[in-house]
C-alpha cells in the first residue's frame, strides 16, 4: 500500500486527467494506481493525501467519519471577535449551517512559499490570517464561511490533515507517510468505525440546525448540511422511501429514478396519449375479439 502526502500548488486540479489541459496531480506524482482522498479546490494550496488503500480511502471520504483539516486563510480586512465567534458556532450559508469550527486569528502571517500568482494588494485595505479547523466538507466551505461573515478569502492553504502537517514540504513536492503515521491513521479510522456502530440514522424529518432551531430563511425539508433530508444520513435515501412517496421526493432530489425499466413514467400517464402504437404483443392478446367502435384504440392499448 502507498500513502503519499502532496503539497498541491495553486491552480492544480485534484485529479489525474483534464481535457482542458490544466495541470493535474499527474504533473507532480508519477505513482500508478493511487487516488486522492477528498478534494482541494483548484485555487487552493496545501496538503492532499493520495493512496491505493481503498478501504482507508473510503473511510476518510465518508461524511460521518470526522477527519479534521486545518486551513490557513488570508482574508481581506481584520475580523472582529464577533465574526470569529460566528465562524466558531456555525455560519448560515443560505443552503444550510456549517458545523462548529475551531477558529483563531493569527498574530503573524505563517511562513509560506511564494504563490505562483501573487495575491492582489490594496494599500488602503489591510489583510490578516485566520486559522480554521473543520471536519465538514461542503463545496468551497471555508471561502463561503469567511465571505458570510464579511471577510472574503484571498488565499487558502490546507496546513494539515488530522495530525499530518505540511511542514517544510514545498509546492509540487510529496513524501511517503511514515509507518507511525499510517498506523495512527488506521487506528483513528478503526475507532471511528467502532463508534459508528451505535450511530442511528436520523428520521426523514430530522434537521440539524444549531440548537434545533431552523431559521426562517430555510426552505422546507432543508437541513443544516446544505442538503435535503431524504431518509438517511447526509441526505442518502433508500429505494423504500422513494417508493412510499410515489417518487415525489426522488424527483426533487435527483437521487432516485422512479421510472420503470421501460423508461416512461407510469404514475401519471394518460391512456391514449403515449404517442406510440400498440405492438405485436398487444395485438396478439386482442385476437378473437369483435372490432370495437371507432376510436377504440384506447381499449386495445390497455388490452
Residues annotated as part of the active site: 41
Cα of 146 vs its chain's centroid, Å: 18
Backbone angles phi, psi at 5, to 5 degrees: -105, 125
- Separation CA 174–CA 166 (nearest Å): 10
Find cell 491513521 and name the residue: 185
Backbone angles phi, psi at 179, to 5 degrees: -60, -40
Which residues does 181 contact at the CB level (< 8 Å), separation at least 6? 3, 163, 164
Amino acid at each position: 500500500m502507498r500513502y503519499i502526502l502532496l503539497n498541491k500548488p495553486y491552480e492544480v486540479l485534484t485529479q489525474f486527467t483534464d481535457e482542458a489541459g490544466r495541470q493535474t496531480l499527474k504533473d507532480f506524482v508519477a505513482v500508478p494506481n493511487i487516488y486522492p482522498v477528498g478534494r482541494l479546490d483548484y485555487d487552493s494550496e496545501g496538503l492532499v493525501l493520495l493512496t491505493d488503500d481503498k478501504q482507508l480511502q473510503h473511510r476518510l471520504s465518508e461524511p460521518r467519519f470526522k477527519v479534521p483539516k486545518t486551513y490557513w486563510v488570508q482574508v481581506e480586512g481584520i475580523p472582529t471577535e464577533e465574526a470569529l465567534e460566528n465562524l466558531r458556532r456555525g455560519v448560515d450559508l443560505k443552503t444550510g449551517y456549517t458545523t462548529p469550527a475551531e477558529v483563531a486569528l493569527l498574530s503573524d502571517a505563517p511562513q509560506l512559499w511564494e504563490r505562483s500568482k501573487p495575491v492582489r494588494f490594496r494599500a488602503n485595505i489591510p489583510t490578516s490570517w485566520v486559522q480554521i479547523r473543520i471536519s465538514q466538507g461542503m463545496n468551497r466551505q471555508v471561502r463561503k464561511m469567511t465571505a458570510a461573515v464579511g471577510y472574503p478569502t484571498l488565499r487558502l492553504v490546507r496546513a494539515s490533515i488530522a495530525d499530518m502537517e505540511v511542514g517544510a514540504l514545498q509546492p509540487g513536492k510529496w513524501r511517503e507517510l511514515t509507518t507511525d503515521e499510517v498506523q495512527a491513521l488506521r487506528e483513528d479510522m478503526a475507532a471511528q468505525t467502532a463508534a459508528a456502530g451505535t450511530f442511528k440514522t436520523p428520521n426523514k424529518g430530522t434537521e440539524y440546525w444549531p440548537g434545533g432551531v431552523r431559521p426562517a430563511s430555510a426552505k422546507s425539508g432543508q437541513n443544516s448540511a446544505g442538503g435535503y433530508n431524504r431518509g438517511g444520513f447526509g441526505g442518502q435515501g433508500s429505494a423504500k422511501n422513494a417508493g412510499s412517496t410515489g417518487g415525489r421526493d426522488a424527483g426533487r432530489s435527483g437521487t432516485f429514478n422512479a421510472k420503470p425499466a421501460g423508461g416512461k413514467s407510469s404514475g401519471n400517464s394518460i391512456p391514449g396519449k403515449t404517442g406510440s402504437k400498440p405492438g405485436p404483443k398487444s395485438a396478439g392478446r386482442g385476437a378473437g375479439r369483435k372490432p370495437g367502435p371507432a376510436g377504440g384504440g384506447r381499449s386495445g392499448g390497455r388490452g
